[in-house]
Amino acid sequence: MLTIYPIAIYEDNYVWVIEHQGQVAVVDPGDSQPVVDYLRKRNLSLDYILVTHKHWDHVTGIKELTGTFPNCEVYGTGHETIPCLQHPLLGGETLSLMGLDWKVMFTPGHTLGQIAFYMLDKEGQGHLFSADNIFVCGCGRMFEGTAEQFQASLASLMALPHNTLIYGTHEYTLANINFALHIEPNNTYTLHRQDVSQTLREEGKPTLPTTVADELKSNPFVRWNQPDVIRAAEHFSGLKLNSDAAVFGVIRAMKDQF
């Protein structure tokens, strides 16, 4: 049986714990102690650490976890310096881990070397560990890449099956929805998501995972071809925008100032 569980760390990060066939993996452990506590409480060991990019809140726990679980193997982006990295991945690789099939996707934009992990379970359901590429109604900041790179990366993720579950690493949902409604105030699906997400947070529950379908209907960062999104970007920039990447870049700049 496949189980995927979020461990909350820091103010708004998640470490995703994946269990299947008696093996355990964690994605982007920015802090070690909450992960160790979770595993010890359930009498579990740690077999794999999957790392998407170099930022401190995604890698700080790796060294201590590999010391606590010395048989653990670290798979991560080979484009950046990752602690204890044993299996560098550049994108395009296929992996067989935990009895599951994985595909590594190269997704520059947030950083120049970020990757994402796409996994198919035994029922054919897709699971995307998207790191800081995409969140509920949002995306990561464009720290290093270009708008063209980031938009192309997001387009590749949105080309996955619509029922793909997306496990982002930050609980930014309510703030992201506020911005999404600033861009598309008449998007009734986003308004619905606001109500649902507010209730989840009031109950202390995560708003993730999301799905490709949900993001295509409500996330302005992947709705670069929608009239209201284009209109908002052109009004902000004062320019006629002639590409999806140009629209995306302006929307990202708007969010940085929102």
Could you read off the pLDDT of 94-116 as tens digits, one per residue? Answer: 999 999 999 999 999 999 999 99
What's the rounded Cα separation, in Å, for the pair 128 and 137? 16
CATH class of the domain whose range is 3-257:
alpha beta
Q: Burial of 5 by CB count in 10 Å (0-12 exposed, 13-18 middle, 19+ buried)?
A: middle
Contact between 64 and 49 (Cβ < 8 Å):
no
pLDDT, mean of residues 167-178: 97
Written as six digits, the tokens of 44 are 């579990």
Grade residue 240 by pLDDT with cuts at 50, 70 and 90: very high
Upstream peptide bond of 209 is cis (omega within 30 degrees of 0): yes
CB crowding 145-171: b at 16 or more within 10 Å, else e: bebbbbbbbbebbbebeeebbbbbbbb
Q: Where are the domains of the chain?
A: 3-257
pLDDT in tens, 56-72: 999 999 999 999 999 99
pLDDT score for 130: 95
Q: What is the average per-residue pLDDT within 77-81?
A: 98
Interatomic CA distance for residues 138 and 183, integer angstroms: 12
- Span 120-147, average pLDDT: 96
Q: How many residues are listed for the chain in this entry? A: 258
pLDDT attached to residue 181? 98
pLDDT of residue 24: 98
Mean pLDDT of 240-250: 98
Q: Which of 52, 44, 55, 51 is nearest to 19 (CA)?
A: 44
CA torsion 235-238-242-247 (nearest 10°) is: -50
Task: Please compute the mean of the pLDDT values over residues 128-137 and round it to a whole number.
Answer: 96
In what order do the strands lie in the sheet containing 87-89? Answer: 3-9, 13-20, 23-27, 48-51, 73-77, 87-89
The tokens for 249 are 């870049």
The fraction of the chain above a pLDDT of 90, given in percent, is 100
pLDDT score recorded for residue 29: 98
pLDDT of residue 50: 98
Gap between the Cα atoms of 82 and 97, Å rounded: 20
Q: What is the rounded distance in angstroms from the CA atom of residue 73 to the CA atom of residue 82?
A: 13
Mean pLDDT of the chain: 97
